Amino acid sequence: MTNYILKTQSLSKHFGKFAANESISVGIRKGAIYGLVGRNGAGKTTFMKMICSLSSPTSGSFELCGQSYPHLGSARAKIGNLIEDPGIYANMSAYDNLKAKGKLYGGVDKEKINDIIRIVGLEKAGKKHAGKFSLGMKQRLGIALALIGDPEVLVLDEPINGLDPAGVAEIRETLQRLNHERGITIIISSHILGELSKLCTDYGFIDRGMLIKEITSDRLGADCTDYIRLLVDDTDKAKKVLGSLGVADVTDGDTGELRIVGMTAGTNEIVEAMVLNKVKVYEISKQGTDLEGYYLNMLGNGRES
Amino acid sequence: MFGNLSLDMFVLRKKKSTYFTALLVLASVLLTSMIAKFSTFPPENQPDTSFTGIFISGTVLSLLFISIFYVMYLGSDLKNGFIKNTAGTVKSRMSYILSKQLVLAVYTLAGIAVLSLGSLLCAVIFFDGTKGFEAAQFIRHIAVLYLLFIGLSSFVTFLVFALRNTTAPMIITLLLTSGTVKSLIYSPIETLLDKAGIKFEFSYISVTANLMNLRTDSSSREMLIACAVGAAYIIVFNVLTKIVMDKKDIA
Protein backbone atom coordinates (compact mmCIF):
# COMPACT_ATOMS: atom_id res chain seq x y z
CA MET A 1 0.00 0.00 0.00
CA THR A 2 1.33 3.44 -0.93
CA ASN A 3 2.23 5.55 2.06
CA TYR A 4 0.88 9.01 1.24
CA ILE A 5 2.02 11.98 3.30
CA LEU A 6 -0.44 14.29 1.58
CA LYS A 7 -3.65 13.31 -0.09
CA THR A 8 -6.15 15.80 -1.41
CA GLN A 9 -9.69 15.05 -2.45
CA SER A 10 -11.46 17.36 -4.87
CA LEU A 11 -9.74 20.36 -3.34
CA SER A 12 -11.16 23.59 -4.76
CA LYS A 13 -10.58 27.25 -4.14
CA HIS A 14 -12.84 29.86 -5.67
CA PHE A 15 -12.49 33.62 -5.53
CA GLY A 16 -15.98 34.74 -6.40
CA LYS A 17 -16.72 33.13 -9.76
CA PHE A 18 -13.07 32.51 -10.49
CA ALA A 19 -11.87 28.98 -9.78
CA ALA A 20 -8.20 29.22 -8.81
CA ASN A 21 -8.21 25.49 -8.05
CA GLU A 22 -10.90 23.13 -9.20
CA SER A 23 -11.34 19.68 -7.73
CA ILE A 24 -7.67 18.80 -7.33
CA SER A 25 -7.03 15.26 -6.14
CA VAL A 26 -3.39 14.34 -5.67
CA GLY A 27 -1.53 11.75 -3.69
CA ILE A 28 2.01 12.57 -2.65
CA ARG A 29 4.12 9.68 -1.46
CA LYS A 30 6.22 9.96 1.68
CA GLY A 31 9.78 10.73 0.65
CA ALA A 32 8.88 11.97 -2.80
CA ILE A 33 10.04 15.16 -4.46
CA TYR A 34 6.85 16.29 -6.07
CA GLY A 35 7.09 18.91 -8.79
CA LEU A 36 4.08 21.10 -9.43
CA VAL A 37 4.23 22.22 -13.02
CA GLY A 38 2.09 24.94 -14.50
CA ARG A 39 2.28 28.35 -16.05
CA ASN A 40 1.76 31.65 -14.18
CA GLY A 41 -1.69 31.82 -12.66
CA ALA A 42 -2.30 28.09 -13.16
CA GLY A 43 -3.12 27.71 -9.46
CA LYS A 44 0.10 26.24 -8.03
CA THR A 45 0.55 28.82 -5.26
CA THR A 46 -3.14 28.66 -4.30
CA PHE A 47 -2.84 24.90 -3.95
CA MET A 48 0.29 25.25 -1.83
CA LYS A 49 -1.32 27.87 0.40
CA MET A 50 -4.23 25.56 1.07
CA ILE A 51 -2.08 22.65 2.14
CA CYS A 52 -0.04 25.02 4.33
CA SER A 53 -3.27 26.22 6.02
CA LEU A 54 -2.71 29.78 4.85
CA SER A 55 -5.82 29.65 2.75
CA SER A 56 -9.01 27.71 3.37
CA PRO A 57 -10.47 25.51 0.63
CA THR A 58 -13.87 26.42 -0.81
CA SER A 59 -14.63 22.71 -0.99
CA GLY A 60 -12.87 19.39 -0.79
CA SER A 61 -10.55 18.06 1.83
CA PHE A 62 -7.01 16.92 2.38
CA GLU A 63 -5.08 14.70 4.67
CA LEU A 64 -1.63 15.73 5.86
CA CYS A 65 0.60 13.35 7.82
CA GLY A 66 -2.43 11.24 8.63
CA GLN A 67 -4.59 14.09 9.92
CA SER A 68 -7.53 15.59 8.09
CA TYR A 69 -8.14 19.26 7.42
CA PRO A 70 -9.30 21.32 9.29
CA HIS A 71 -8.36 19.24 12.34
CA LEU A 72 -4.69 19.06 11.45
CA GLY A 73 -3.48 19.30 15.04
CA SER A 74 0.20 18.41 15.31
CA ALA A 75 0.44 17.94 11.53
CA ARG A 76 0.57 21.72 11.17
CA ALA A 77 4.02 21.76 12.72
CA LYS A 78 5.20 18.99 10.37
CA ILE A 79 5.07 21.26 7.36
CA GLY A 80 7.66 23.88 6.51
CA ASN A 81 7.05 26.31 3.72
CA LEU A 82 8.60 28.95 1.54
CA ILE A 83 5.76 30.59 -0.32
CA GLU A 84 6.30 33.68 -2.46
CA ASP A 85 8.64 35.54 -0.05
CA PRO A 86 11.41 34.06 2.05
CA GLY A 87 9.81 35.86 5.04
CA ILE A 88 12.92 37.19 6.68
CA TYR A 89 13.64 40.05 9.05
CA ALA A 90 16.03 42.27 7.12
CA ASN A 91 17.65 43.79 10.20
CA MET A 92 18.59 40.43 11.68
CA SER A 93 21.35 37.98 10.81
CA ALA A 94 20.57 34.52 9.43
CA TYR A 95 21.23 33.13 12.92
CA ASP A 96 18.80 35.55 14.58
CA ASN A 97 16.13 34.94 11.95
CA LEU A 98 16.36 31.23 12.67
CA LYS A 99 16.46 31.82 16.41
CA ALA A 100 13.31 33.94 16.12
CA LYS A 101 11.36 31.29 14.26
CA GLY A 102 12.80 28.58 16.50
CA LYS A 103 11.08 30.29 19.45
CA LEU A 104 7.77 29.35 17.87
CA TYR A 105 8.55 25.65 18.21
CA GLY A 106 10.67 25.76 21.34
CA GLY A 107 13.68 23.58 22.04
CA VAL A 108 15.73 25.00 19.19
CA ASP A 109 19.27 25.38 20.47
CA LYS A 110 22.39 27.00 19.04
CA GLU A 111 23.66 23.68 17.74
CA LYS A 112 20.50 23.04 15.74
CA ILE A 113 20.51 26.53 14.26
CA ASN A 114 24.14 26.17 13.20
CA ASP A 115 23.37 22.75 11.75
CA ILE A 116 20.61 24.22 9.57
CA ILE A 117 22.85 27.11 8.56
CA ARG A 118 25.42 24.53 7.46
CA ILE A 119 22.85 22.48 5.54
CA VAL A 120 21.75 25.47 3.48
CA GLY A 121 25.31 26.73 3.09
CA LEU A 122 25.05 30.05 4.89
CA GLU A 123 27.99 29.56 7.24
CA LYS A 124 29.87 32.45 5.69
CA ALA A 125 27.00 34.90 6.20
CA GLY A 126 28.07 35.44 9.82
CA LYS A 127 26.45 38.46 11.45
CA LYS A 128 25.60 40.13 8.17
CA HIS A 129 22.03 41.40 8.16
CA ALA A 130 19.70 39.33 5.98
CA GLY A 131 18.59 42.51 4.20
CA LYS A 132 22.06 42.68 2.65
CA PHE A 133 21.98 39.07 1.40
CA SER A 134 21.99 38.22 -2.29
CA LEU A 135 18.78 36.77 -3.72
CA GLY A 136 20.23 33.27 -3.55
CA MET A 137 21.22 33.71 0.09
CA LYS A 138 17.75 35.00 0.93
CA GLN A 139 16.16 31.97 -0.74
CA ARG A 140 18.49 29.67 1.16
CA LEU A 141 17.58 31.43 4.40
CA GLY A 142 13.92 30.99 3.45
CA ILE A 143 14.52 27.25 3.11
CA ALA A 144 16.41 27.25 6.41
CA LEU A 145 13.44 28.91 8.10
CA ALA A 146 11.17 26.27 6.65
CA LEU A 147 13.47 23.61 8.13
CA ILE A 148 13.65 24.92 11.68
CA GLY A 149 10.64 22.98 12.94
CA ASP A 150 12.00 19.63 11.67
CA PRO A 151 9.30 19.33 9.03
CA GLU A 152 8.33 16.09 7.35
CA VAL A 153 7.05 18.02 4.35
CA LEU A 154 8.69 21.00 2.73
CA VAL A 155 6.53 23.17 0.47
CA LEU A 156 8.58 25.42 -1.78
CA ASP A 157 6.99 27.84 -4.19
CA GLU A 158 9.40 28.89 -6.93
CA PRO A 159 12.50 28.65 -4.70
CA ILE A 160 14.91 28.99 -7.62
CA ASN A 161 13.32 32.01 -9.26
CA GLY A 162 15.83 34.71 -10.09
CA LEU A 163 18.86 32.67 -9.12
CA ASP A 164 21.98 32.35 -11.24
CA PRO A 165 22.91 28.86 -12.52
CA ALA A 166 25.33 28.29 -9.63
CA GLY A 167 22.65 29.31 -7.12
CA VAL A 168 20.13 27.01 -8.78
CA ALA A 169 22.55 24.09 -8.59
CA GLU A 170 23.25 24.81 -4.90
CA ILE A 171 19.55 24.83 -4.03
CA ARG A 172 19.03 21.64 -6.01
CA GLU A 173 21.86 19.90 -4.17
CA THR A 174 20.53 21.13 -0.82
CA LEU A 175 17.06 19.81 -1.55
CA GLN A 176 18.38 16.46 -2.77
CA ARG A 177 20.44 16.15 0.39
CA LEU A 178 17.45 16.95 2.59
CA ASN A 179 15.38 14.40 0.75
CA HIS A 180 17.97 11.65 0.81
CA GLU A 181 19.52 12.22 4.24
CA ARG A 182 16.50 13.33 6.22
CA GLY A 183 13.71 11.73 4.24
CA ILE A 184 11.86 15.03 3.89
CA THR A 185 9.07 15.00 1.34
CA ILE A 186 9.38 18.04 -0.90
CA ILE A 187 6.62 19.71 -2.87
CA ILE A 188 8.16 22.21 -5.23
CA SER A 189 6.93 24.46 -8.01
CA SER A 190 9.08 26.11 -10.61
CA HIS A 191 8.99 27.50 -14.09
CA ILE A 192 12.46 26.16 -14.76
CA LEU A 193 11.32 22.76 -15.92
CA GLY A 194 14.81 21.60 -16.80
CA GLU A 195 15.74 21.97 -13.14
CA LEU A 196 12.62 20.23 -11.90
CA SER A 197 13.37 17.30 -14.16
CA LYS A 198 16.76 16.90 -12.45
CA LEU A 199 15.15 16.87 -9.03
CA CYS A 200 11.63 15.46 -8.93
CA THR A 201 10.45 11.91 -8.48
CA ASP A 202 6.82 12.77 -9.23
CA TYR A 203 5.04 15.49 -11.14
CA GLY A 204 1.62 17.07 -11.06
CA PHE A 205 0.65 19.23 -14.01
CA ILE A 206 -1.77 22.03 -13.24
CA ASP A 207 -3.50 24.17 -15.81
CA ARG A 208 -6.31 26.67 -15.30
CA GLY A 209 -6.72 25.51 -11.73
CA MET A 210 -7.11 21.86 -12.62
CA LEU A 211 -4.77 18.94 -12.22
CA ILE A 212 -4.42 17.62 -15.71
CA LYS A 213 -1.95 14.83 -15.08
CA GLU A 214 0.09 13.15 -12.37
CA ILE A 215 3.08 11.14 -13.40
CA THR A 216 6.18 9.60 -11.86
CA SER A 217 9.62 10.56 -13.14
CA ASP A 218 10.14 6.96 -14.34
CA ARG A 219 6.98 7.10 -16.40
CA LEU A 220 7.85 10.58 -17.61
CA GLY A 221 11.30 9.33 -18.56
CA ALA A 222 9.71 6.54 -20.57
CA ASP A 223 7.28 8.94 -22.20
CA CYS A 224 10.04 11.34 -23.07
CA THR A 225 12.39 8.69 -24.38
CA ASP A 226 13.24 8.88 -28.05
CA TYR A 227 10.99 6.66 -30.12
CA ILE A 228 9.91 6.05 -33.66
CA ARG A 229 6.40 7.18 -34.43
CA LEU A 230 4.74 5.02 -36.98
CA LEU A 231 1.38 5.90 -38.48
CA VAL A 232 -0.18 2.95 -40.29
CA ASP A 233 -3.56 1.69 -41.56
CA ASP A 234 -3.50 -1.54 -39.54
CA THR A 235 -1.70 -1.47 -36.19
CA ASP A 236 -2.24 -5.17 -35.41
CA LYS A 237 -0.69 -6.26 -38.68
CA ALA A 238 2.10 -3.71 -38.24
CA LYS A 239 2.87 -5.08 -34.77
CA LYS A 240 3.27 -8.59 -36.22
CA VAL A 241 5.62 -7.24 -38.86
CA LEU A 242 7.63 -5.42 -36.21
CA GLY A 243 7.71 -8.65 -34.18
CA SER A 244 9.17 -10.48 -37.13
CA LEU A 245 11.88 -7.80 -37.26
CA GLY A 246 12.68 -8.50 -33.62
CA VAL A 247 11.22 -5.21 -32.32
CA ALA A 248 9.50 -5.95 -29.03
CA ASP A 249 9.01 -2.60 -27.32
CA VAL A 250 5.99 -1.30 -29.22
CA THR A 251 3.22 0.70 -27.63
CA ASP A 252 -0.03 2.05 -29.00
CA GLY A 253 -0.34 5.78 -29.44
CA ASP A 254 -3.30 7.63 -30.89
CA THR A 255 -5.48 5.89 -33.53
CA GLY A 256 -3.29 4.16 -36.07
CA GLU A 257 -0.14 5.18 -34.21
CA LEU A 258 2.56 2.90 -32.91
CA ARG A 259 5.53 3.95 -30.83
CA ILE A 260 8.71 1.97 -31.08
CA VAL A 261 10.73 2.80 -27.98
CA GLY A 262 14.48 2.52 -27.67
CA MET A 263 15.10 2.28 -31.39
CA THR A 264 15.77 5.39 -33.38
CA ALA A 265 17.59 3.84 -36.30
CA GLY A 266 16.46 1.40 -38.98
CA THR A 267 13.44 3.29 -40.28
CA ASN A 268 14.20 2.15 -43.84
CA GLU A 269 14.01 -1.51 -42.82
CA ILE A 270 10.71 -0.91 -41.03
CA VAL A 271 9.14 0.81 -44.06
CA GLU A 272 10.45 -1.91 -46.39
CA ALA A 273 8.99 -4.68 -44.21
CA MET A 274 5.65 -2.87 -43.94
CA VAL A 275 5.41 -2.42 -47.72
CA LEU A 276 6.27 -6.07 -48.30
CA ASN A 277 3.49 -7.09 -45.90
CA LYS A 278 1.02 -4.68 -47.46
CA VAL A 279 0.73 -2.37 -44.47
CA LYS A 280 0.20 1.22 -45.54
CA VAL A 281 2.66 3.59 -43.86
CA TYR A 282 1.33 7.14 -43.65
CA GLU A 283 4.13 8.56 -41.58
CA ILE A 284 7.32 7.47 -39.88
CA SER A 285 9.39 9.86 -37.81
CA LYS A 286 11.87 9.99 -34.95
CA GLN A 287 10.39 11.57 -31.81
CA GLY A 288 11.78 12.63 -28.46
CA THR A 289 11.02 15.26 -25.88
CA ASP A 290 12.07 16.72 -22.52
CA LEU A 291 9.89 17.79 -19.58
CA GLU A 292 9.27 21.16 -21.17
CA GLY A 293 8.25 19.61 -24.47
CA TYR A 294 6.12 17.06 -22.65
CA TYR A 295 4.40 19.84 -20.71
CA LEU A 296 3.82 21.98 -23.77
CA ASN A 297 2.51 19.01 -25.75
CA MET A 298 0.16 18.17 -22.95
CA LEU A 299 -1.10 21.75 -22.70
CA GLY A 300 -1.61 21.78 -26.44
CA ASN A 301 -3.63 18.58 -26.26
CA GLY A 302 -5.60 19.95 -23.35
CA ARG A 303 -6.52 23.07 -25.26
CA GLU A 304 -7.68 21.15 -28.27
CA SER A 305 -10.05 18.97 -26.31
CA MET B 1 0.63 30.78 22.27
CA PHE B 2 3.76 30.75 24.40
CA GLY B 3 5.87 30.07 21.31
CA ASN B 4 4.31 33.02 19.52
CA LEU B 5 4.82 35.26 22.53
CA SER B 6 8.43 34.23 22.83
CA LEU B 7 8.97 34.87 19.10
CA ASP B 8 7.32 38.30 19.26
CA MET B 9 9.30 39.35 22.33
CA PHE B 10 12.51 38.35 20.55
CA VAL B 11 11.56 40.34 17.45
CA LEU B 12 10.61 43.34 19.61
CA ARG B 13 14.01 43.28 21.28
CA LYS B 14 15.79 43.07 17.94
CA LYS B 15 13.94 45.91 16.22
CA LYS B 16 15.69 49.25 16.01
CA SER B 17 12.34 51.04 15.97
CA THR B 18 11.69 49.71 19.49
CA TYR B 19 14.50 51.80 20.89
CA PHE B 20 14.08 54.67 18.47
CA THR B 21 10.42 55.11 19.47
CA ALA B 22 11.38 55.07 23.17
CA LEU B 23 13.92 57.80 22.44
CA LEU B 24 11.27 59.81 20.61
CA VAL B 25 8.93 59.48 23.61
CA LEU B 26 11.70 60.82 25.83
CA ALA B 27 12.41 63.58 23.34
CA SER B 28 8.70 64.50 23.32
CA VAL B 29 8.75 65.19 27.06
CA LEU B 30 11.99 67.11 26.76
CA LEU B 31 10.69 69.16 23.85
CA THR B 32 7.38 70.08 25.49
CA SER B 33 9.22 70.97 28.72
CA MET B 34 11.76 73.16 26.89
CA ILE B 35 8.94 74.96 25.07
CA ALA B 36 7.15 75.53 28.39
CA LYS B 37 10.35 76.73 30.00
CA PHE B 38 11.80 78.99 27.36
CA SER B 39 8.81 80.29 25.38
CA THR B 40 6.71 83.25 26.37
CA PHE B 41 3.00 82.63 26.77
CA PRO B 42 0.16 85.09 27.42
CA PRO B 43 -1.03 84.88 31.05
CA GLU B 44 -4.25 83.06 30.09
CA ASN B 45 -2.35 80.37 28.17
CA GLN B 46 0.36 79.56 30.66
CA PRO B 47 1.34 75.87 30.32
CA ASP B 48 0.99 73.49 33.23
CA THR B 49 4.56 72.98 34.39
CA SER B 50 3.79 70.55 37.18
CA PHE B 51 5.05 66.98 36.89
CA THR B 52 1.63 65.75 35.75
CA GLY B 53 1.26 68.71 33.37
CA ILE B 54 4.55 67.80 31.69
CA PHE B 55 3.48 64.16 31.60
CA ILE B 56 0.21 65.04 29.85
CA SER B 57 1.91 67.28 27.25
CA GLY B 58 4.45 64.52 26.60
CA THR B 59 1.66 61.95 26.27
CA VAL B 60 -0.13 63.93 23.55
CA LEU B 61 3.04 64.14 21.45
CA SER B 62 4.19 60.59 22.25
CA LEU B 63 0.83 59.23 21.19
CA LEU B 64 1.82 59.95 17.61
CA PHE B 65 5.12 58.05 17.85
CA ILE B 66 3.70 55.11 19.78
CA SER B 67 0.85 54.64 17.31
CA ILE B 68 3.33 54.78 14.39
CA PHE B 69 5.31 52.08 16.17
CA TYR B 70 2.15 49.98 16.57
CA VAL B 71 1.54 50.07 12.81
CA MET B 72 5.19 49.36 11.99
CA TYR B 73 5.46 46.49 14.43
CA LEU B 74 2.17 44.85 13.47
CA GLY B 75 2.74 45.34 9.76
CA SER B 76 6.31 44.05 9.61
CA ASP B 77 5.28 40.38 9.30
CA LEU B 78 2.95 41.29 6.46
CA LYS B 79 5.58 43.33 4.65
CA ASN B 80 8.37 40.78 4.80
CA GLY B 81 6.13 37.74 4.35
CA PHE B 82 7.06 36.23 7.73
CA ILE B 83 3.36 35.76 8.46
CA LYS B 84 3.32 33.01 5.81
CA ASN B 85 6.03 31.19 7.76
CA THR B 86 4.09 31.18 10.98
CA ALA B 87 0.35 31.58 10.44
CA GLY B 88 -0.08 28.08 9.06
CA THR B 89 1.86 26.53 11.92
CA VAL B 90 -0.28 27.86 14.76
CA LYS B 91 -3.49 26.11 15.77
CA SER B 92 -5.39 29.37 16.12
CA ARG B 93 -4.56 32.44 14.10
CA MET B 94 -5.95 34.53 16.95
CA SER B 95 -3.13 33.31 19.18
CA TYR B 96 -0.80 34.84 16.61
CA ILE B 97 -2.62 38.18 17.02
CA LEU B 98 -3.00 38.01 20.79
CA SER B 99 0.70 37.42 21.31
CA LYS B 100 1.44 40.54 19.27
CA GLN B 101 -1.03 42.51 21.36
CA LEU B 102 0.50 41.26 24.58
CA VAL B 103 3.92 42.32 23.37
CA LEU B 104 2.56 45.74 22.45
CA ALA B 105 0.96 45.95 25.90
CA VAL B 106 4.34 45.29 27.47
CA TYR B 107 5.95 47.83 25.17
CA THR B 108 3.27 50.43 25.97
CA LEU B 109 3.89 49.91 29.67
CA ALA B 110 7.58 50.49 29.07
CA GLY B 111 6.69 53.59 27.02
CA ILE B 112 4.57 55.01 29.85
CA ALA B 113 7.43 54.30 32.27
CA VAL B 114 9.84 56.20 29.99
CA LEU B 115 7.30 59.01 29.74
CA SER B 116 6.90 59.18 33.52
CA LEU B 117 10.64 59.08 34.14
CA GLY B 118 11.28 61.74 31.50
CA SER B 119 8.56 63.95 32.96
CA LEU B 120 10.03 63.54 36.41
CA LEU B 121 13.51 64.49 35.22
CA CYS B 122 12.22 67.52 33.31
CA ALA B 123 10.10 68.61 36.28
CA VAL B 124 13.13 68.43 38.55
CA ILE B 125 15.55 70.05 36.09
CA PHE B 126 13.36 72.81 34.64
CA PHE B 127 10.54 73.41 37.13
CA ASP B 128 9.42 72.81 40.71
CA GLY B 129 9.95 69.08 40.81
CA THR B 130 7.03 67.05 42.15
CA LYS B 131 5.47 69.91 44.08
CA GLY B 132 1.73 69.29 44.56
CA PHE B 133 2.04 65.77 43.13
CA GLU B 134 -0.62 63.32 44.20
CA ALA B 135 0.50 59.75 43.66
CA ALA B 136 -2.94 58.12 43.92
CA GLN B 137 -4.42 60.45 41.32
CA PHE B 138 -1.46 59.89 39.00
CA ILE B 139 -1.67 56.09 39.30
CA ARG B 140 -5.38 56.29 38.45
CA HIS B 141 -4.49 58.46 35.44
CA ILE B 142 -1.82 56.01 34.25
CA ALA B 143 -4.13 53.02 34.65
CA VAL B 144 -6.85 54.61 32.51
CA LEU B 145 -4.27 55.87 30.03
CA TYR B 146 -2.88 52.35 29.73
CA LEU B 147 -6.31 50.91 29.06
CA LEU B 148 -6.86 53.51 26.34
CA PHE B 149 -3.50 52.69 24.75
CA ILE B 150 -4.41 48.98 24.68
CA GLY B 151 -7.72 50.00 23.08
CA LEU B 152 -5.78 51.96 20.46
CA SER B 153 -3.46 49.01 19.79
CA SER B 154 -6.53 46.76 19.32
CA PHE B 155 -7.93 49.26 16.83
CA VAL B 156 -4.63 49.50 14.95
CA THR B 157 -4.30 45.69 14.93
CA PHE B 158 -7.71 45.43 13.32
CA LEU B 159 -6.82 48.05 10.71
CA VAL B 160 -3.51 46.40 9.79
CA PHE B 161 -4.89 42.85 9.50
CA ALA B 162 -8.19 43.81 7.88
CA LEU B 163 -6.55 46.00 5.26
CA ARG B 164 -3.46 43.74 4.97
CA ASN B 165 -1.10 46.66 4.48
CA THR B 166 0.59 49.35 6.50
CA THR B 167 0.10 52.48 4.40
CA ALA B 168 -3.63 52.98 4.93
CA PRO B 169 -3.53 52.11 8.66
CA MET B 170 -0.56 54.48 9.08
CA ILE B 171 -2.44 57.36 7.42
CA ILE B 172 -5.63 56.70 9.41
CA THR B 173 -3.70 56.45 12.68
CA LEU B 174 -1.72 59.63 11.98
CA LEU B 175 -4.89 61.53 11.13
CA LEU B 176 -6.52 60.33 14.34
CA THR B 177 -3.61 60.92 16.68
CA SER B 178 -2.65 64.29 15.24
CA GLY B 179 -6.15 65.64 15.83
CA THR B 180 -6.78 66.12 12.11
CA VAL B 181 -9.85 63.90 12.12
CA LYS B 182 -11.19 65.86 15.08
CA SER B 183 -10.77 69.19 13.27
CA LEU B 184 -11.90 68.08 9.84
CA ILE B 185 -14.59 65.51 10.56
CA TYR B 186 -15.75 65.38 14.17
CA SER B 187 -16.08 69.13 14.79
CA PRO B 188 -18.15 69.94 11.66
CA ILE B 189 -20.47 66.99 12.37
CA GLU B 190 -20.81 68.05 16.00
CA THR B 191 -21.67 71.60 14.86
CA LEU B 192 -24.29 70.27 12.44
CA LEU B 193 -25.76 68.02 15.10
CA ASP B 194 -25.79 70.93 17.53
CA LYS B 195 -27.75 73.03 15.03
CA ALA B 196 -30.20 70.17 14.73
CA GLY B 197 -30.59 70.25 18.49
CA ILE B 198 -28.62 67.06 19.16
CA LYS B 199 -25.86 67.25 21.75
CA PHE B 200 -23.15 64.75 20.87
CA GLU B 201 -19.37 64.80 21.22
CA PHE B 202 -17.19 62.35 19.35
CA SER B 203 -14.55 62.77 22.02
CA TYR B 204 -16.71 60.54 24.21
CA ILE B 205 -16.40 57.56 21.89
CA SER B 206 -13.00 58.18 20.29
CA VAL B 207 -10.09 56.40 21.90
CA THR B 208 -7.57 58.93 20.58
CA ALA B 209 -9.66 61.90 21.76
CA ASN B 210 -9.86 60.31 25.19
CA LEU B 211 -6.11 59.75 25.18
CA MET B 212 -5.50 63.39 24.30
CA ASN B 213 -8.09 64.85 26.68
CA LEU B 214 -7.37 62.74 29.75
CA ARG B 215 -6.07 64.76 32.71
CA THR B 216 -4.81 63.66 36.08
CA ASP B 217 -7.57 65.71 37.69
CA SER B 218 -10.29 64.53 35.29
CA SER B 219 -13.56 63.82 37.05
CA SER B 220 -14.55 60.30 38.00
CA ARG B 221 -17.21 60.43 35.29
CA GLU B 222 -14.64 61.34 32.64
CA MET B 223 -12.33 58.59 33.87
CA LEU B 224 -15.22 56.12 33.77
CA ILE B 225 -16.12 57.12 30.21
CA ALA B 226 -12.47 56.75 29.19
CA CYS B 227 -12.35 53.29 30.81
CA ALA B 228 -15.53 52.25 29.02
CA VAL B 229 -14.18 53.50 25.68
CA GLY B 230 -10.86 51.68 26.20
CA ALA B 231 -12.59 48.43 27.18
CA ALA B 232 -15.10 48.70 24.32
CA TYR B 233 -12.30 49.19 21.79
CA ILE B 234 -10.42 46.18 23.16
CA ILE B 235 -13.47 43.92 22.98
CA VAL B 236 -14.97 45.16 19.70
CA PHE B 237 -11.76 45.31 17.69
CA ASN B 238 -10.41 42.00 18.96
CA VAL B 239 -13.67 40.31 18.01
CA LEU B 240 -13.51 41.96 14.58
CA THR B 241 -9.85 40.97 14.16
CA LYS B 242 -10.72 37.38 15.06
CA ILE B 243 -13.46 37.36 12.43
CA VAL B 244 -11.07 38.80 9.83
CA MET B 245 -8.29 36.35 10.69
CA ASP B 246 -10.63 33.35 10.63
CA LYS B 247 -12.36 34.30 7.40
CA LYS B 248 -9.60 35.89 5.38
CA ASP B 249 -6.77 33.97 3.79
CA ILE B 250 -3.15 34.80 4.45
CA ALA B 251 -2.40 36.18 1.01
| pLDDT tens-digit series, residues B70-80 | 999 999 888 88
CA-to-CA distance for A96 and A127, rounded, in angstroms? Answer: 9
Residues in chain B whose Cβ is within 8 Å of chain A: 2-4, 6-7, 10-11, 14-16, 76, 80-91, 249-251
Residues of chain A with CATH 3.40.50.300: 4-220
Interface test with A, best of B15, B89, B100 (most A CBs within 10 A): B89
- Taking the CA of residue A283 as centre, how many other CA atoms within 13 Å lie in the half-sphere pointing to its CB? 11
Residues near B197 by beta carbon (within 8 Å), at least 6 away in sequence: none
Buried b (16+ CB within 10 A) or exposed e, B182-218: beeebeeebeeeeeeeeeeeebeebbbbbbbebebeb
Residue B133 exposed, middle or buried by CB count within 10 Å (0-12, 13-18, 19+): middle
Tens digit of each residue's pLDDT, chain B (251 residues): 788 889 899 999 998 999 999 999 999 999 988 888 887 777 777 777 788 888 888 888 888 899 999 999 999 888 888 888 777 777 778 888 889 999 999 999 999 999 999 998 988 888 877 777 788 888 999 999 999 999 999 999 999 999 988 899 999 999 988 888 888 888 888 888 888 888 888 878 889 888 888 888 888 888 999 999 999 999 999 999 999 988 888 77
ipTM of the complex: 0.82
Helices within chain A (DSSP H only): 44-51, 94-105, 110-119, 135-147, 165-182, 193-199, 217-224, 235-244, 267-276, 291-304
Question: Could you tell me the maximum CA-CA distance found in chain A, to the nearest angstrom?
Answer: 78
Q: What residue type is B8 in one-letter code?
A: D
Domain boundary assignment for chain B:
2-247
| Structural Rg of chain A based on CA atoms | 24
Fold of A4-220: Rossmann fold (3.40.50)
CATH of domain A226-287: 3.30.70.100
Of A210, A194, A180, A100, give the one whose Cα is nearest residue A148: A100
DSSP secondary structure letters along B140-169:
HHHHHHHHHHHHHHHHHHHHHHHHTSSHHH
Encode pLDDT of A216-235 as tens digits.
888 777 777 677 888 999 88
Reported as type and span, the H/E element at residue B187 is: helix B187-195
**Angstroms from B121 CA to nearest CA on chain A:** 33
Across the interface, do B84 and A96 touch by the CB < 8 Å criterion? Answer: no
Cα A255 to the chain's mean position, in Å?
30
Chain A residues in contact with B15 (beta carbon < 8 A): 91
